[in-house]
Amino acid sequence: MNRRDFLQKSGAVGSAGLSLSFAHQQQPPEPQDQQPVEPEPQGRLPYTGPNVVLVRFGGGVRRRETIDFPENTYCPFIYHELYQRQGGVLFPKMEIESLEGIQTSHGQGTLYILTGKYDRYEDVTGRFLSDRFEAKVPTLFEYFRRKYDVPAHQALIVNGEDRINEEFYTFSNHHVYGVRYSSTVLSLYRFKTFLLREEIANGRFEGRELEQKQRELRDMENRDYRVENRARVATPQLDAFWRKWREHYGRSGMVNPRGDRLLTTLSLWALRELKPKFMMINYQDPDYVHWGPRQFYHRAISIIDEGVREIYNATQGDEQYRDNTVFVVVPDCGRDSNRSMPVPYQHHFNTRSSHQIFALIAGPRRFVPHERLAVDRTQQQIYVAKSIGEIMDFPTPHANNRSLLAAT
């Protein structure tokens, strides 16, 4: 992605607070034939397995600044603590396979992780670079919630504020799975939707302004156009969560932390307020190096590392999570190593290095039995899916059937 594309895609960057009108950036396609949303099925099992925190070490991070040189790593907590001291298993030779049509980018990598399948993704809006992808096979959250009776607010994806396309990775179009088993997104976009819905309900607007605000809310909610029953998107648990958030940070969006620090804060709040069993955090800020100086990249890696440390510490201080939580860390894609560029890792243009990533799985020994091990074998990013399925004990029939842990 070049600078212009990046700026287009991240139009929200640098604008102030929540005054952004996401609703008008892109319109969703017209609703197509939608299947009625069925009630959540009965007879699912209670979940008693470990909690999983899946950290998308995102915005494209290659091995060099993370795991290749431990003494110079920009993510010392992840490397020295989670891996070395807490008994993690490191997969230093993980890659995104070089296949026709398989891209090394953020949305794609996220969906490879979530579905366990390499696939060509085409934007469903037909708009240039809007990266609005839909998974054709189930996501991990769907597998999980189809087997276990876990409410949607305990299967969470924590998203950044300037990648609206990622709001839609919560479920696939698979007919057996899909929206009934979707995850719930925590993001400022969702907060803004909540605020607007509440303000309209409380009679804050009237006349033409009311009409305009109602239209705006409809646009925002309809971005997730596959969801027919809007009432299911706003659950009492999420409304209560955002009400507390508003009490603490106000309405402006200016007081809360920004960027990837916001994702950490949302995740910490989620652990406390919602008690997720499975939470994916889509960190993204190292990607700012597309249009900024190299320090953006290094600093952003460290901010994610610090975030993982805080989240790990929070789980250790909470009975529900202590000794019962597995961390899985994996980048969405790598970055270039182009020595002819002033910043060799500015982009990720499907080069060898942008295929080269890593993964780390760390948790109590009964869930992650091989401690302090580096698995010196090439692994695929799509193996992460089955690995999480094994840890949480749910089948992943449409994902690649290799598990990272079996390979150890």
320 burial (CB, 10 Å; 0-12 / 13-18 / 19+) is exposed
User: What is the C-alpha separation between 261 and 265, in angstroms, rounded?
Assistant: 6
Residue with Cβ nearer Zn ion (50 or 286): 286
Q: What does each C-alpha distance from 407 to 34, 46, 96, 129, 339 come to in angstroms?
A: 41, 29, 17, 37, 34
CB of residue 1 to Zn ion, shortest distance in Å: 5
Tell me whether residue 12 or residue 52 sits nearer to Zn ion (CB atom): 12
Position with the least CB separation from Zn ion? 287
> Which DSSP helix (H) or strand (E) runs through 54?
strand 51-56
Residue 45 in 3-state DSSP?
strand
Burial 143-160 (b: 16+ CB within 10 A, else e): bbbbbbebebbbbbbbbb
What's the min distance (Å) between Cβ of 110 and Zn ion?
12
Alpha-carbon distances of 212 from 22, 233, 358, rounded to whole Å: 14, 22, 47
Q: Supply the minimum distance, in Å, between the C-beta of residue 185 and Zn ion.
A: 20
Query: Which residue lies nearer to Zn ion by CB, 1 or 329?
Result: 1
Of the pair 60, 307, the CB lying nearest Zn ion is at 60
Q: Name the residue among 76, 78, 88, 66 with its Cα closest to residue 387.
A: 88
To the nearest whole angstrom, how small is the minimum distance from the Cβ of residue 289 to Zn ion? 9
Alpha helices (H) along 138-206:
140-147, 188-201
The set of residues, in sequence order, having a beta carbon less than 8 Å from that of 232 and lying 6+ positions away, is 37
Name which of 51 and 110 has its Cβ closer to Zn ion. Answer: 110
- In this complex, which beta carbon is closest to Zn ion, that of residue 167 or of residue 287? 287
| Minimum distance of Zn ion from residue 347's CB (angstroms) | 7
Neighbours of 352 (CB within 10 A): 12
Binding site for Zn ion (CB under 5 A): 1, 60, 287
Q: Shortest distance, CB of residue 60 to Zn ion, whole angstroms?
A: 5
Of 133 and 143, which CB lies nearer to Zn ion in the complex structure?
133
Burial of 211 (0-12, 13-18, 19+ CB in 10 A): exposed
Q: Give the amino acid at 356.
A: Q
| Rounded distance between C-alpha atoms, residue 104 and residue 335, angstroms | 8
Residue with Cβ nearer Zn ion (129 or 255): 129
The DSSP 8-state label assigned to residue 286 in this structure reads G
